[in-house]
Structure 1
Amino acid sequence: MSPHNGEGHGRDRNGYDYPTDDEEEYTQHTENGAGFDRRSFLKFAGVATAGLAATGLSGTAGAVPTRDSFSFDRVVNAVEDLGMDPNGNTPIDDALDGALQSGTLVEFPPGTYFVQNTHSIAGMSNVGIRGTGENWRDVTFRSPQGRATGLLSTGGSGGRNVLVENLSVDNRNDDSTLVWFRLSCQGGVLVRDVEWLGRTPPDDDKGYNLTVEAFDRDGVNLVENVRTGLDASATTVEYPDGVQFVRGGPSHKGETVIRDAKIHNHNSAAMRYTQGGVVTVENSEFVNNQNANLRFTGGDHPDKHSSATGCYVKVDDSATDVGDAIRVDSSGQGQSGAVFRDIVIEWDDQSGRGVIAFPSWGDHGRAEFYNCVVRNDSPSATVNATSTSASDDAVVFENCSFTGDGGGFFADDRPGSVIRDSCIGIPDATIEGFETENVSDSACRTPSDVEGNGSGGDETSDETDGSAETDSTDETTDLPNELVVQGTGTATRYAFTVSEELAPVASTIESHDTVDGSTVEAWVTTSSHVDEFAFAGSITAFEYLEGGPAEITLNGESVAAEDLVDTNDGPTAEVTVTETDGLTAELSAEESSDPDGSIESYEWAVGDETYAGSTATHTFGDAGTYAVSLTVSDDDGASASATTDVSVSDESRLRIQGAGTPTQVFVEVSGELTAVEDTIEPWDEVGDASATVWVTDSEDVDEFTFTGELTTVEFDGGDADIFLDGSAVDPSSVGSTDETPKDLEIRGTGAPTQVAVAVDGELTAVEDTIEEWDEVGDTSATVWVTDGDDVDRFTFTGELTTLEFIEGEAAVAVDGTAVEPSEL
């Protein structure tokens, strides 16, 4: 593996090293009849653990938080003490809400935990959650499909000393599920060893994965070894519909340190701190992130400036819409002083505003770059720092190296800008606005010359990835079979299982590939991307999870994926929820396997009701979470079952989003209106069925859930975007009672037929089609028709509720579509 491939490493952090507790005190306590077991004693007696020093953070203002910074009064086990389900079937929300309080650490044993609601820790101090597994993927939190759920949120109330450590959250592989954290505190936030799995969706409900802010000037937060996009790329979107990964807003006044992060394939800014306090980015890796990779300002802190050191940025996916590798952006605040040291950038085939850019909206002050190495093989400018504001000042590059076939360097209207003691190996590069001092054009450094390439450590590092342990093998092995999977130009995620032993050829496997026992889940892309495996036994399953096909070679012979599996262990069952609409869920067995086409039956069970077939539709009586089971059986008597939880709600969701101008919006519903936590400001007024709120730009969003119908949307100046259950709504159409009448046609088919119809709106006969023996009322009619020339016609509003053939049979159509009595 070359030192500049952008994969980097992750650190092996095995959690706290707890000491042996005081056995004598414990024994005396239980012998005196208290009746607590050992863990209960720790919980109720408030025993502090090693690495969680009793001093808290009270004397460490301004220091970067560490594991030793926290003091917890109690440490509780999520399963043993709180009764949470580690299998992901039963929601843990009530137990988690009851446990989260100041002075409490909740520890989660390995497993999957299902959360449905956002959990508030507003105003709390020394509180946290932590996985106890050997790596962060051992503990995973999942939320309901199709929902943005906050695992922990301080809201705008703040708090102090919040720990989130050694766990993962699952965005699933759909386009709508998101798990997020908002940790806006006075200071002392530590987010460590946390990975976002699955595919990041568009910004339908929440604009970020992680917010970390320090409200106090001397507050410091640490975000260390966080990861995203290593197992699946985010859903590709057009700006501004992506989800920022880690961000701070204008309420951030202190410092956030981002260290050893790996942020890949995200669909918006990898990190953004463009207002308020400062951010310090160290030894982090940014690969193929849409919009921007490093995006921050110098900050307005009185003693500190934002900086990035030892970071690696790579963009080589032409399908990724990337604006820039580094965006110096103070969002019109005129903040100055950002510093970049030892940054390595590889930039291919992009046409953004520039590899290093200062956006056109202006007021981006001084920035300095030291010892940076940039390769630009695109038409984009290498540096685009042309000023649009009188407050912009110098941009300095010192001891930097630039190579490739890219564009030039522009710093018009920035007096004092200079490139010194540097190498520019870009043919015919235009230089405008920069002075040059001691600049050569030969023997420039390239990214491949940089050891470790800024990606978090050198090649001898003992750090490891958080994915499951792999039984890697040498280039030779005594296992009898060889499987080779080669890319064909399309990003392809595949999975397979063997019946006996499996070992990958270590040099061919990347950090985002997973080998777990006899099962593999991995990616290939281009024809130069090859994964190799040795195995014993046979291949029992192979499938493409995304993309495909790939070139597959088994023991030296080319083979199609469908011909790999030569054993039949019977079918497998998997429940897929394809859609939920209100209280109705559409269910599918499409992910179930039928290896030889022998499945004879699909049987669904929802409570006491059962359905047959590979798909099913079920309407639940009330909102809630329900277990849905599927059993498949083949003609040999083999069967398999699967169960999943389906959450349904009779509530609608309303989103009010700013459109660029300050706007007052009044909304009213026919039922009950509830504000979504963390989206409402103090000046907004919210009642039981109506609200008056203010919004400004697209990042200013107010959200509500409600029952009944949305009856009123009014603007007092300006404009805003209104979304109902994720779909844009024309405010002028809200509350309108106008309805286009539907056409109802009753045509004879050859025999005298008496037909009864009824609607839940208004029924009107079409002139000259009704005979004197027909009976027509305001909402219903009974008519006679005979042959195909005998037609009675009506228009109506609402829905057709009754269609009955009292005698004979007729052809009935609504707006040209045939209707049968059995359909009503």
Structure 2
Amino acid sequence: MYAETEYDHYQQMGERPAQQGSSGDGNSSGTRSGGGGNGSGKPTAPKFSQTVDAVEEFGVDPNGNRPIGEDIDSVPEDTLVVFPGGTFKVSGRTQFRATKAGVVGASYQDKKPPSGDGKNTTTFVAEQGTFAALDFKMDTGLVGGFMLDFTATKALITMNARSSGFMQYRDVVWNGLVDRVGSQANDSKNGDYLCAMQPDEGATSRATRFVMKNNGIPGSKNIGGRNGFWCGESCKGTAQIEDCVVSAVADNGVYGGRAPGDVQIKGGEWVNNEVSHNRYSGKGSFSDGATMVLDADNYNGPTGEYGKWNDEIGTHAIKIERGDNGISKPSGAVLRNAEIQLLSAGPHGFGAGIRVRGSGGALKIENCRITNNVDCASVVAESPGDGYSGYKAPSPHNITITDSLFQGTNAESIVDVSGRENSLVRKTCFKIPGASSSNITGMTIGSGVGFGKQCKSGGLSNPKKVGSGGNLSAANFSAPNASSTGSASTSSGGGSGWAGKLLGGLAVAPLIGIAVIAIPFIFGLLVLGGATFGGLLLFFKKLSS
């Protein structure tokens, strides 16, 4: 399902005059690995008939003294436009339209987000008080390898990732704080997002290795705070979001509940975002292999005057709903291979680790590990039609939990399901002291279910697939830290996540050396210790403290 969209598109393009070849980075087109949503496949790109330098070809200013929109207002067909290392001013909405084209920064072949240091970094920058948007739409193409810098006071840069076929967006870093909030908030026409995923019906937009870290002020959700990814009414095709790091944004990490199309999330590290990390609904939409952490005690993102993190705005790891726009999709969302940790909640508390609103249809939870040390249920599913929107999703409405592990300290109410016919839990271990079947409501308890500290029945069917630890490209990079004053550090080390802290101590090593050292070390711990991934996270926190 996930990789097949790419394969099918390249097959179709191969029958058109603009023939697609193998990628310029050595990956071959048409790889079907990971079908059925179980793998991302290899990111590929079309070959272009020519590559041009944006400074030499269009005369754009690499020193940030003149907006690029004054020099470039269209992209030549079948052309890869490379912005070299430098600073490029953006203001207002800059549109890039073509059938087949690419717009990339100097580091686009590195296959990692730019670090922000060195002459090979391409940075688009907005001046103080300036709103800017980069708006891309092609049938086939490649966009990425650059930073968006809005560290100036009251500045903001957003991005529209459109597609009329199969478009790849990768390695983009948002560096700055959304501080244009309160009475100075941008009006709604500028969008409620850092990145809008906007594929046409039948088309696919894929975002890979995006980094949005420390971009939001807690409590500003309803007064100008932004979602990380917005998949709204204009997301009519398939939005694919893979190996991204999204931490401390002031609204949802992914808001996909209002999309008539499919929202598919693969891997990534999602830490201390407000409202929810992954929010989606309906058949064809899923979150697979993501690591999601909610931990108020270790929140070290921006602060402001609107309350502490999880003070004014409660949060969840997963929220399944179709929003208040009434868009109806076939029922059947999936959550698989997730690592969810509810470690500390702060004054507001959490509604649940996983919440299915009354407008959300069926949800299958498969091969997930949920650690809950706070005072809330791990899973809550409202009766169909309940909740703020009042909408009722099409049948079926059942919740299915299989091959999963629940652990932690909270045994009061582990799973609370209301009015959802044929809901079933099976092959699952509730390895929580004092847990019993009485802590599971609204579900039939099937075969292979165990309870208590010594639980021996059920559990993960494939531990290696759980969380982004099975896909380290999601975690082994960090973004600059923004503060509420609008200033930012461009150090490539550090970051609020556990992976960022680990790499902060290795920042002097070459990147290849980091990979050689870190990956065998991590997997060695998993094999030798037999520890859970949750234990590994705690180990890294202690290591970096």
TM-score norm. by structure 1 comes to 0.46
Contact 2:367 2:466 (8 Å CA) reproduced: no
Distance 1:90 1:324 in 2: 43
Distance 1:121 1:233 in 2: 25
1:131 aligns with 2:105: yes
Query: What is the aligned counterpart of 1:240 among 213, 222, 228?
Result: 222
Q: 1:173 to 1:267 in 2, by over 3 A?
A: farther
Aligned partner of 1:207 in structure 2 is 192
Distance 1:200 1:355 in 2: 26
Q: 1:167 to 1:496 in 2, by over 3 A?
A: closer
Query: What is the aligned counterpart of 1:371 among 361, 367, 370?
Result: 367
1:250 aligns with 2:233: yes
Percent of aligned pairs with the same residue? Answer: 22
Matches within 5 A, 1:588-667: none
Query: What is the aligned counterpart of 1:323 among 300, 311, 315?
Result: 315
Matches within 5 A, 1:706-725: none
Aligned partner of 2:130 in structure 1 is 147
State the shift of 1:334 in Å. 4.7
State the shift of 1:418 in Å. 1.3
- How many aligned positions are there? 425
State the shift of 1:441 in Å. 2.4
Aligned partner of 1:485 in structure 2 is none
1:430 aligns with 2:439: yes
Aligned partner of 1:384 in structure 2 is 380
Distance 1:531 1:463 in 2: 15
Query: What is the aligned counterpart of 2:291 among 303, 312, 319?
Result: 312
Cα offsets for 1:762-808 (capped at 9, x unmatched): xxxxxxxxxxxxxxxxxxxxxxxxxxxxxxxxxxxxxxxxxxxxxxx
Q: 1:452 to 1:316 in 2, by over 3 A?
A: farther
Distance 1:239 1:316 in 2: 19
Q: 1:378 to 1:416 in 2, by over 3 A?
A: same
Query: What is the aligned counterpart of 2:75 among 97, 100, 114?
Result: 100
| Secondary structure of 1:289's aligned partner | coil
Matches within 5 A, 1:262-661: 262-274=245-257, 275-299=259-283, 305-317=284-296, 319-321=308-310, 322-331=314-323, 332-335=326-329, 336-350=331-345, 351-359=349-357, 362-389=358-385, 391=394, 393-406=397-410, 407-408=412-413, 409-426=415-432, 427=434, 430-437=439-446, 438-443=449-454, 454-457=467-470, 464-465=476-477, 509-511=501-503
State the shift of 1:329 in Å. 1.2
Aligned partner of 1:51 in structure 2 is 23
Distance 2:488 2:212 in 1: 19
Contact 1:326 1:357 (8 Å CA) reproduced: yes
State the shift of 1:463 in Å. 8.5
State the shift of 1:163 in Å. 2.1
Contact 1:228 1:264 (8 Å CA) reproduced: yes
Distance 2:500 2:141 in 1: 39
Distance 1:514 1:112 in 2: 27
Q: 1:102 to 1:495 in 2, by over 3 A?
A: closer
Matches within 5 A, 1:53-92: 68-92=44-68
State the shift of 1:256 in Å. 1.8
Q: 1:254 to 1:455 in 2, by over 3 A?
A: same
Please list every run of 5 or more consecutive structure 1 residues that lacks an aligned counterpart in the other structure: 1-45, 300-304, 469-489, 498-506, 518-527, 533-824
Q: Say what the alpha-carbon RMSD is for the aligned residues.
A: 4.1
What letter is aligned with 1:88?
A: G
Distance 2:477 2:160 in 1: 25
Q: 1:509 to 1:446 in 2, by over 3 A?
A: farther
Distance 1:281 1:109 in 2: 31
Distance 1:280 1:73 in 2: 32
State the shift of 1:265 in Å. 0.9
Q: 1:65 to 1:166 in 2, by over 3 A?
A: farther
Aligned partner of 1:730 in structure 2 is none
Distance 2:490 2:291 in 1: 33
Distance 2:356 2:429 in 1: 22
Q: 1:86 to 1:214 in 2, by over 3 A?
A: same
What letter is aligned with 1:75?
A: T
Q: 1:125 to 1:364 in 2, by over 3 A?
A: same
Aligned partner of 1:635 in structure 2 is none
| Secondary structure of 2:71's aligned partner | helix
What letter is aligned with 2:134?
A: L
Q: 1:357 to 1:68 in 2, by over 3 A?
A: closer
1:195 aligns with 2:167: no
Q: 1:333 to 1:443 in 2, by over 3 A?
A: farther
Distance 2:76 2:381 in 1: 48
Contact 1:419 1:439 (8 Å CA) reproduced: no
| Secondary structure of 2:128's aligned partner | coil
Cα offsets for 1:258-286 (capped at 9, x unmatched): 11111111110101222211122112211
State the shift of 1:50 in Å. 7.1
Contact 2:23 2:29 (8 Å CA) reproduced: no
| Secondary structure of 1:167's aligned partner | strand
State the shift of 1:456 in Å. 4.9
Cα offsets for 1:161-182 (capped at 9, x unmatched): 24212111112164x3221111
Structure scoring higher RCO (CA < 8 A, sep ≥ 6) equals 2
Q: 1:76 to 1:443 in 2, by over 3 A?
A: farther
Distance 1:324 1:463 in 2: 21
| Structure 1, 333-342 or 368-377: larger mean CA deviation | 333-342
Distance 1:508 1:188 in 2: 31
What letter is aligned with 1:226?
A: F
| Secondary structure of 1:228's aligned partner | strand
Matches within 5 A, 1:737-776: none
Distance 2:406 2:43 in 1: 40
Distance 1:455 1:127 in 2: 31
| Secondary structure of 1:413's aligned partner | coil
| Secondary structure of 1:200's aligned partner | coil
Distance 1:140 1:339 in 2: 37
Q: 1:402 to 1:284 in 2, by over 3 A?
A: same
Cα offsets for 1:576-619 (capped at 9, x unmatched): xxxxxxxxxxxxxxxxxxxxxxxxxxxxxxxxxxxxxxxxxxxx
What letter is aligned with 1:357?
A: R
Structure ranking higher in strand proportion: 1
Contact 1:309 1:342 (8 Å CA) reproduced: yes
Please list every run of 5 or more consecutive structure 2 residues that lacks an aligned counterpart in the other structure: 1-17, 298-307, 386-391, 492-498, 510-540
| Secondary structure of 2:209's aligned partner | strand
Larger radius of gyration: 1
Distance 2:271 2:427 in 1: 28
